[in-house]
Amino acid sequence: MNHSSVITEHFEIKLGAELTVRGEIKALNNKQKKPILLISHGFKAFKDWGFFPYVSDWFAEHGFYTIHFNFSRNGVNQTDFDELDKFADNTYSQDQKDLDAIVLRIKRGELPQSELADQACIYLLGHSRGGANSLIYALDHPEIKAVVTWNGSANPNLFDEVFEAEVREKGIAYTENARTKQQMPIKPIFFDDLAENSDRFNIIRRFANLPIPALVLQGDKDFKRL
């Protein structure tokens, strides 16, 4: 198959006045219902970073209705990390709300080319922090049929105690983006959210009760803090 046989359409979901989930759907241009694959990026990534466009193309070419998107507080609007003020307040709880907003639109048939999507077959695929988010969402939502993680984070807290102490003392601290060299801000809300949801976000403990198929792939040359 070639790329010309795949439909690509952009969508935006407004979450109040400030936040927006921006994404794309890709699907073969035919009349067949397709299983839905929702692809989540990692901590310092976005929908058009690295392999994500190629992954969404590949799965679309092989019969999936693929959705890849930017989390609303990942810090990317139109270009590479141009909304770092939003990145500073990113939390797992907001990521879960973003996923929920997309799934709601799936169920309502409100995404582009929704007639090509089989609403009864929703699968999740996530890389790094996106893997953690995918597992948490699957654990909370029985309508998800299966989940795949690529170097998914087993521990949602990516930082050590020294960094957290600095954030709490100063009200903000920075982690370097190894690719762009930008200093990316983190505020206490990130750690507050983890503390308030410690049971819900305990992936290792909850994983034993996951009632659906899960494929967990870990590579030894992927960076821990991408």
At 13-66, the pLDDT tens digits run 999 889 999 999 999 999 899 999 999 999 999 999 999 999 999 999 999 999
In this structure, the strands spanning 173-176 and 183-186 are antiparallel
Q: Average per-residue pLDDT in the chain?
A: 93
- pLDDT given for residue 179 in this prediction: 84
- Dist CA 12 CA 192 (whole Å): 28
- Dist CA 126 CA 93 (whole Å): 16
At 161-211, the pLDDT tens digits run 999 999 999 999 999 988 888 999 999 999 999 999 999 999 999 999 999
- pLDDT given for residue 2 in this prediction: 47
Kindly list the distances between the CA atom of residue 92 and the CA atoms of 60, 81, 111, 162, in Å, as whole numbers in the listed order. Answer: 27, 18, 24, 21
- pLDDT given for residue 80 in this prediction: 85
Percent with pLDDT over 70 in the chain: 96
Q: Which residues of 180-208 are buried (b: 16+ CB within 10 A; e: fewer)?
A: eebebbbbbbbbebbeebeebbebeebee
20-126-215 Cα angle (round to 5)? 155
Q: Could you tell me the two tokens for 211?
A: 């009632």
- Dist CA 25 CA 142 (whole Å): 23
- pLDDT given for residue 220 in this prediction: 78
Name the residue with higher pLDDT: 113 or 16.
Answer: 113
Reply yes or no on whether the pLDDT at 111 is more than 70. Answer: yes
Greatest pairwise CA separation for the chain in angstroms = 57
| H-assigned helices in 10-91 | 52-61, 84-87
- pLDDT given for residue 226 in this prediction: 38
- pLDDT given for residue 14 in this prediction: 96
What is the number of residues in the chain?
226
Reply yes or no on whether the pLDDT at 225 is more than 50. Answer: no
| CB-based contact 116:32 (threshold 8 Å) | yes
Question: One-letter amino acid identity for 110?
Answer: E
In this structure, the strands spanning 117-127 and 34-40 are parallel
- pLDDT given for residue 3 in this prediction: 47
Would you place residue 112 in the very low, low, confident or very high pLDDT band (cuts 50, 70, 90)? very high
| H-assigned helices in 29-160 | 52-61, 84-87, 92-108, 129-140
- pLDDT given for residue 4 in this prediction: 53
Q: Which residues partner with 28 through β-bridges?
A: 6
Would you place residue 78 in the very low, low, confident or very high pLDDT band (cuts 50, 70, 90)? confident
- pLDDT given for residue 172 in this prediction: 97
The mean per-residue pLDDT over the stretch 143-149 comes to 97
Q: Could you tell me the two tokens for 154?
A: 């087993």
Reply yes or no on whether the pLDDT at 93 is more than 70. Answer: yes
Q: Could you tell me the two tokens for 88?
A: 């500073």
